[in-house]
Amino acid sequence: MVTVDKIMMRELGIAVELMMEQAGEILARFSLIRLNIEQPLAVEGDGSFPAFIVLAGSGNNGGGGLVAARRLKGWGVKVSVVLPRGLMALNPIPREQAERAKKIGVSLIDSLPESVSTDIFVIDAYLGYNYHPRYDPITMEVFEWLRKRKHVISLDVPSGLDVNSGVHDGEFNPEATVTLAFVKKGLLLSNQCHVGELMVADIGVPSWIYASRLGITWTKPFSLESLEQLTNSFSRIDLLKTGRIIDEETGLMGWKGDIA
């Protein structure tokens, strides 16, 4: 995946932010679909479904989580972001994503909340595929916090899972993992309870990269039908038919939705 990312950025000119935006949007959509929510709410936090906490690390994995938080907030979902290492520890691109999320009203919290409702839905975007064993106090605290959560979805890999060996230092059990572009070996070697339902998200990596550059035959499972189903889940948000209206008295122009 390191090689794939380099090819995408250096040879194809597809910036990491573009892939991050794609990953974050898919993660946000999947999180709502996981809760059987067919359409985001127009009014934030009316109690129809649990609130979200995005646990974001300092790297690109955290950046994807921050994008997901921004998208959820934009759809009227109640969401906060927890930054265990603080805002200033974020790498430049994730920090820009944090600032964007903050500007639209997403709360940024610099420490793990001690008391959390069991109904809270956690998006784990703390550590990605570059994880190596680390025993610093903050990471250990994060792992312990995640073990106590009932509902967790992990981005790319569950935080603390070695993508080569499958050893999972975090030892928590996510409901699902949304891995990006390609199935990492460690996700298949690890105990299934440490991965949950495994989903593969298309972030725009061409199939030929795997075959021609890595010698891996990878037939992506994405289809137009599956993409259509995803779009239809949010059709009233993404494809709202609108029309132009003009006030006869003032001459002002505007628009209205739900045109029959």
Q: What angle do helix axes 60-74 and 92-103 make, rounded to 10 degrees?
A: 10
Instruction: Give this prediction's pTM.
Output: 0.83
Which CATH number does the domain housing residue 184 bear?
A: 3.40.50.10260
Any idea which of 46-60, 139-153, 160-174, 180-194 has the lowest mean pLDDT?
46-60
Under 8 Å between Cβ of 71 and 52 = no
User: Which pLDDT score is estimated for 62?
Assistant: 96
Considering the domain boundaries, does residue 62 fall inside one? yes
Nearest Cα to 142, choosing from 82, 99, 91? 82
Considering the domain boundaries, does residue 240 fall inside one? no
Considering the domain boundaries, does residue 181 fall inside one? yes
Q: Which residues contact 76 (CB under 8 A, 6 or more apart)?
A: 40, 41, 42, 43, 44
Considering the domain boundaries, does residue 232 fall inside one? no
Any idea which of 31-35, 126-130, 217-221 has the lowest mean pLDDT?
217-221
Using alpha carbons, list the distances in angstroms from residue 169 to 33, 147, 154, 177. Answer: 28, 11, 14, 16
pLDDT tens per residue, range 209-260: 888 888 887 666 666 665 566 555 555 444 445 556 677 777 776 665 554 4
Considering the domain boundaries, does residue 137 fall inside one? yes
Residue 56 pairs in a beta bridge with: 125
Under 8 Å between Cβ of 82 and 54 = yes
Round to the nearest angstrom and report the end-to-end CA distance of the chain: 47
Report how far residue 30's alpha carbon sits from residue 22's, in angstroms, rounded to the nearest whole number.
12
Q: In this model, does residue 188 exceed pLDDT 70?
A: yes
Give the range of the structural domain holding residue 6, as residue numbers without chain letter: 2-222
Report how far residue 182's alpha carbon sits from residue 102's, in angstroms, rounded to the nearest whole number.
31
Question: How many structural domains compose the chain?
Answer: 1
Considering the domain boundaries, does residue 173 fall inside one? yes
A 10 A CB-CB count for 22 gives: 20
Considering the domain boundaries, does residue 236 fall inside one? no
Under 8 Å between Cβ of 70 and 97 = yes
Whose tokens are 């998208």? That residue is 71
Please count the residues of the chain.
260
Over its C-alpha atoms, the chain yields an Rg (Å, rounded) of: 20
* Residue-averaged pLDDT of the chain: 84
User: Which pLDDT score is estimated for 132?
Assistant: 84
- Mapped onto helix, strand or coil, the DSSP state of residue 164 is coil
In a 13 Å sphere around the CA of 93, the CA atoms on its Cβ side amount to 15
pLDDT tens per residue, range 43-87: 455 555 668 999 999 999 999 999 999 999 988 888 999 999 999
Considering the domain boundaries, does residue 251 fall inside one? no
198-210: average pLDDT: 85
A 10 A CB-CB count for 198 gives: 14
